[in-house]
Amino acid sequence: MWYLELGLTLSAHVNNFSDWVDACHCERNVLPRMDPLESEGGSQKSNNKPKYSKFTQQELPACKPLLTPGIVVATFLLIGIIFVPIGLASLSASQEIVELVDRYDTNCVSTLDKVGFIQNTDTDKTCTRTLTVPKHMKSPIQIYYQIGDFYQNHRRYVKSRSDKQLRYKNAVHLTKDCDPEGNTVDGAPIIPCGLIAWSLFNDTYTISVNKKAIEVNKKDIAWKSDKTDKFGSDIYPSNFQKGSLIGGAKLNESIPLSEQEDLIVWMRTAALPTFRKLYGRIETDIMANDQLTVVIQNNYNTYSFGGSKALVLSTTSWIGGKNNFIGVAYLTIGGLCIFLAVGFVVLLYMVKPRTLGDPSYLSWNRDTPDRPN
């Protein structure tokens, strides 16, 4: 019958097609996968492929904490519990420090021409100041001089020095960076050279308590590392304050630079325009209501640039000098963290409580007027 012949013919074609598909499938599994770089340009481009490593593929072990509300609240509470006691202790220690600050630059000049007064070498610049101690001051009592509006951090001022000259005896001639205070008019090197050393503070203080003179200890006021590593023990001042400009204090040429502690303290430049530098220490206690008499030799010229000078007497504690900022900063951060922790607790557990990771809160799972769930 014709339809039987047709059926046999179609069956044979189907079997042939099936065999062809199986062959193609086998070939596809057997053939190796080609790298896209090799298919584009050969083996030269494949050499540029970076070597696999966990570092380049960012697969190194890492901590990836899940910041749940409980962890966030606990972290804020922990920071607050640690910071608040530190802030209270710092603030309490700062409040216990007794500090006397007396600005004397304006009261120690009797004329309107302050610059002319301070530059005149014939005028008597002695000034007497009387202070009353408000509280008991325990020794050691630090004596500082405070200068305002003096920019020791100016680039040209900071660079005007020769560190090698200060340290090595065979480098005393290295004054290239010290202009205009590098050499004298005759060409001899100035030791120490530069504007920093030239502008050395030269006011002096003589202190008496209840009309009884007390000694001011000026030893060990500089950093030990500065004395041993930055200033040579065999380097002596030479031609200092003999240049074309008249500067500040003079140095004893019989004492090496490593023992000139006033100079070492001054050479450590300040970062801010108002700064304090250590002048000396008082090794005896001063009682409350004692009268301090300070005889000042007002020599340092801060009037030509509108600066200020002050004498500071201060006790110390485990945090150093008087500084309320540290305590206030710790209290502020600690209090803010506790406030945030309480706010998270109230918001997430009382006002709008919800189950962590609840999919019913997703926008597409909520019932809306135009699309009921």
The string of pLDDT tens digits covering residues 110-129 is: 888 888 888 888 888 999 99
Q: Are residues 85 and 212 in the same domain?
A: no
Same domain, 140 and 230: yes
Range of the domain at 126: 98-316
This prediction's pTM: 0.74
Could you say which residues of the chain have pLDDT below 70?
Answer: 1-46, 243-244, 358-362, 364-373
Q: What is the pLDDT of residue 358?
A: 66
Q: Are residues 83 and 213 in the same domain?
A: no
pLDDT digits (tens, 9 = 90+) for 169-189: 888 888 888 888 888 888 889
What contacts 159, CB < 8 A, 6 or more positions away?
177
176-186 residues labelled b (16+ CB within 10 A) or e (exposed): eebeebbbeee
Q: What does the chain come to in residues?
A: 373
Residue in the structure block whose two tokens are 């406030």: 339
Cis bond leading into 180, ω under 30°? Answer: yes
Both 192 and 304 in one domain: the answer is yes
Q: Say if residue 232 is in the same domain as residue 341.
A: no
Are 139 and 285 a contacting pair, CB within 8 Å? yes
Q: What is the pLDDT of residue 361?
A: 67
pLDDT the model gives residue 1? 43
Number of domains in the chain: 2
The per-residue pLDDT for 242 is 80
Q: What is the pLDDT, as a whole number, of residue 15?
A: 52
**Residues 150 and 298 placed together within one structural domain of the fold:** yes
Last residue of a domain, one of 267, 296, 316: 316
Residue 128: its pLDDT value, please?
A: 94
| Residues 338 and 228 grouped into a single domain | no
